[in-house]
Amino acid sequence: MSPGIGTAASDHNPRNTATRGWALHQAAAEVIPGGVNSATRYVGHPYAFGGGDGAYVVDLDGNRYLDYHAAFGAILLGHNSPVVDDPVRAAVGALDLFGLGVTELEVELATRVTEAIPSAEMMIATMSGSEATAQAVRLARAATGRQLLVKFQGGFHGWHDAVARNVISRPELAYGRDPLSAGILDSVLESTLIAEFNDLDSVKALFEQYPDRIAGVIMEPIPHNVGALVPTQEFVDGLRALTADHGALLIFDEVITGFRHALGGYQEVCGVQPDLTTFGKGMANGYPIGGLAGPRSLMERFDGQKGDVLLAGTFNGYALGATAAIATIDHLRSNPDFYTRTHALGARMRSGLEGIVSELDLQATVAGFGGVFSLYFTAGPIKGYRDLMRNDDQAYATFHRRMTDAGFLMIPMSLKRNHISGSHTEEDVDRTLDAARDVLASMKADGSAH
């Protein structure tokens, strides 16, 4: 398995040290630790970007890429979409940051979200998905009076201490103690328990081991942070019943799945309503905003007049993020064919990859949902993280590296998913499949894949 969340494939381009991107990276490393402002942004070339439009991005040296990375999924409609950017431009100069009271935009956004998400009666705005999940964990502990949290091996829920463990773990660390960072208190790490996705018995065992001590279960409905593990209906139904029976909260982290797979998130798809839902990324097509929603009985704990759970943040609900989110949600609501199109393109991509894998007789499995796709380099079936431990991580990263070198931007790290946005076309998908056939054939020829 991968040695860590920030590990990338080696850089194969011998010319990159003479580029503007490399020069900017070197300058960045003098004033920014590692030269990037988030650990997984360093992947070798391309080092720096200069622009984007629709389904394409351009690096600082003028090379154009068909973008499947999509800023870790934050780009939902396409880069610089006028549907979102035009209202944001109109908002600049009209509304400022006040830091007191409320604006009409905040009310409009909360109304849109509570209308869209099945389990939502009220929402709070945050600046990021990590802040949203931090609020969800705190609220779950306050509401239940309990300390322990259950997360799944492979799930990523942000950078805060309560959940910063056991994501892309090496086999010897999986399910054990595998923090993402130094500086986390042992007591905090020990308060988060690890279960196996799509394995209800593993969750039941934790409730039996820690009766009346588990505040909540937090899960990505589809763990896209390790590609695309699709849950069985039995699993999500079972989690809903199990948490309710034990008085714990079920938290859906829909930071990636929310608004991408359906307007109401994956809970709309599977028909299971969690107690709390976090969201962010694609809801504003690249503008920073996130949020937490749930029933009134829980969310009123954030009421500064009568509640007991702190809600604070100078920029929460700020005008530009709220404007972008409203514009994105309104577009999705008015254009339900967005989901028809992206799901169809995702199915076209996955079917095409399956055909190539069969044609080349590779040990590989195609996975995904909606407009998201992954190509694991192992035989299926793949249901949980245990199955991913037999994935050939180097082949996975090499495939993404060579696709990027061919002009198709895919983050060259193991277990990272790819996204189809509203700007991709059938022609884009077909060109990608042609390139994938060439790349996979070359990998089989040189022994990089089997």
Identify the pLDDT of residue 18: 73
The secondary element (H helix, E strand) that includes residue 439 is: helix 426-446
d(CA 223, CA 216): 17
Residue 335: CA atoms inside 13 Å, Cβ hemisphere, count? 13
Identify the pLDDT of residue 16: 55
Helices (H) and strands (E) in the chain, counts: 15, 14
Identify the pLDDT of residue 37: 95
How confident is the model over 10-25, as a mean pLDDT?
69
How confident is the model over 385-393, as a mean pLDDT?
97
* Residue 428: C-alpha distances to residues 66, 420, 441 (Å): 8, 10, 20
Domains of the chain with CATH codes:
16-80+336-446 (3.90.1150.10), 82-334 (3.40.640.10)
Does the pLDDT at position 12 exceed 80? no
User: Tens of pLDDT along 298-326?
Assistant: 999 999 999 999 999 999 999 999 999 99
Average pLDDT, the chain: 95
Does the pLDDT at position 360 exceed 80? yes
Does the pLDDT at position 291 exceed 80? yes
Backbone angles phi, psi at 138, to 5 degrees: -60, -45
Strand-strand pairing, 365-369 and 290-294: unpaired
User: Tens of pLDDT along 172-221?
Assistant: 999 999 999 999 999 999 999 999 999 999 999 999 999 999 999 999 99
Does the pLDDT at position 115 exceed 80? yes
Give the dihedral sign, CA 205/210/211/214: negative
Angle between helices 426-446 and 393-405 (to 10 degrees): 130
Identify the pLDDT of residue 8: 46
Give the pLDDT band (50/70/90) at residue 15: very low
Give the pLDDT band (50/70/90) at residue 9: very low
Rg value, the chain, Cα = 21
Does the pLDDT at position 145 exceed 60? yes
Identify the pLDDT of residue 95: 87
Does the pLDDT at position 345 exceed 90? yes
Give the pLDDT band (50/70/90) at residue 17: low
How confident is the model over 7-21, as a mean pLDDT?
57
User: Tens of pLDDT along 50-106?
Assistant: 999 999 999 999 999 999 999 999 999 999 999 999 999 999 988 889 999 999 999
The label of the residue with tokens 């709070």 reads 124
Evaluate the omega torsion of the peptide bond into residue 46 and state whether it is cis, within 30 degrees of 0: yes
Query: What token pair was written down for 283?
Result: 């809801």
Does the pLDDT at position 3 exceed 50? no
Does the pLDDT at position 358 exceed 70? yes
How confident is the model over 30-48, as a mean pLDDT?
94
d(CA 4, CA 14): 25
How confident is the model over 336-349, as a mean pLDDT?
98
Identify the pLDDT of residue 6: 40
Identify the pLDDT of residue 2: 39
Strand-strand pairing, 408-409 and 372-376: unpaired
